[in-house]
Structure 1
Amino acid sequence: MRDVEKTVGNMIDKLKTVFIGSIDAEGVPNLTPLLQPRNREGIQGIYLTTNTSSMRVAQYRKNNHASIYFCDTRFFRGVMLRGTMEVLTDDASKEMIWQEGDTMYYPEGVTDPDYCVLKFTAISGRFYSNFKSESFVVD
């Protein structure tokens, strides 16, 4: 695929929902939707918000293997990225992606103990479009 970073990056920036995958205690994949990423470093580093108390955070702390999926239903295309998920609770990470209105989810503000950052680091991916799929490595 030509210019994978540009194509995938545009999807990440435009789509309002992302699906993240984690592995539970029995080794079974679990998926959940989240709001679109708040920040990204190319397509390798993707930052999301979630509740520290969530089941997903507990799963990532035990097994950091993760996947993330962006689906563009308008053009029936999607991209799955494979990699690892890190749970960040430091002030700098939390402040980096905090947005006005987040108190709706985290009433105590940016220092709310139930607010954390998920940092996904991609190592590879698979893109689907026009009835074909293509795997790629993320540099």
Structure 2
Amino acid sequence: MMKNPEKTIGNLIEKQSVSYIASISEEGFPNMKAMLPPRKRTGIKEFWFTTNTSSMRVVQYLKNPNASIYFCDKRFYRGVMLVGTMEVLEDADTKQMIWREGDTMYYPQGVTDPDYCVLKFTAAQGRYYSNFHSESFDIG
């Protein structure tokens, strides 16, 4: 059993250049997508990502907020899946909070671009794999 899940998993997440997010299609199937790492996170409970408001994922999360995110350390063949809910946020404070210089490459109109929004994932449970062993855990 992990001694300190938040530290172990937090360290794994911090070192990854890609994250994977999953939504649920209208037909009830999981849809996975590679994303840039989260812009901000609070431990292993809350994660903020940027995306296009016009994206298929935003439509899916608005209809069904059930979601998962996955981080994989290919070098050591270990990973963590977190399950929870995804919110689509378009308020000015949240958008400003995670805006970075250079984001105009994706959102030409800047932080107020109507095609820029924030995805906030809140984890409820997780499953960690390392050294041929998996374990599930709750996130408080």
Q: What range is the shorter-chain TM-score in? A: over 0.9
CA distance in 2, matches of 1:95, 1:21: 25
Name the aligned partner's letter for residue 115 of structure 2.
Answer: D
CA distance in 1, matches of 2:30, 2:66: 10
> Residue in 2 aligned with 1:2?
3
TM-score (norm 1): 0.99
Q: Secondary structure at the match of 1:58?
A: helix
Asked whether the equivalents of residues 12 and 37 of structure 1 are also in contact (C-alpha less than 8 Å), the reply is: no
Identify unmatched segments of 5+ residues in structure 1.
Answer: none
CA distance in 2, matches of 1:74, 1:83: 27
> Residue in 1 aligned with 2:83?
82
CA distance in 1, matches of 2:12, 2:96: 25
Q: Secondary structure at the match of 1:48?
A: strand
Identify unmatched segments of 5+ residues in structure 2.
Answer: none
Q: Which structure 2 residues correspond to residues 93-112 of structure 1 after superposition, within 5 A? A: 93-112=94-113
> Residue in 1 aligned with 2:39?
38
Name the aligned partner's letter for residue 103 of structure 1.
Answer: T
Asked whether the equivalents of residues 84 and 120 of structure 1 are also in contact (C-alpha less than 8 Å), the reply is: yes
67-76 or 5-14: bigger deviation: 5-14
Equivalent pairs, count: 139
Q: Secondary structure at the match of 2:44?
A: coil
Q: Secondary structure at the match of 1:16?
A: coil
Q: Which structure 2 residues correspond to residues 1-139 of structure 1 after superposition, within 5 A? A: 1-139=2-140
Query: Could you list the per-position Cα deviations for residues 93-117 of structure 1 after superposition, in whole angstroms to 9, with x for gaps in the alignment?
Result: 0001000110000000000000000
Deviation at 1:12, TM superposition (A): 1.8
CA distance in 2, matches of 1:7, 1:96: 26
CA distance in 2, matches of 1:7, 1:38: 19
Name the aligned partner's letter for residue 134 of structure 2.
Answer: S
CA distance in 1, matches of 2:11, 2:39: 14
Deviation at 1:11, TM superposition (A): 1.8
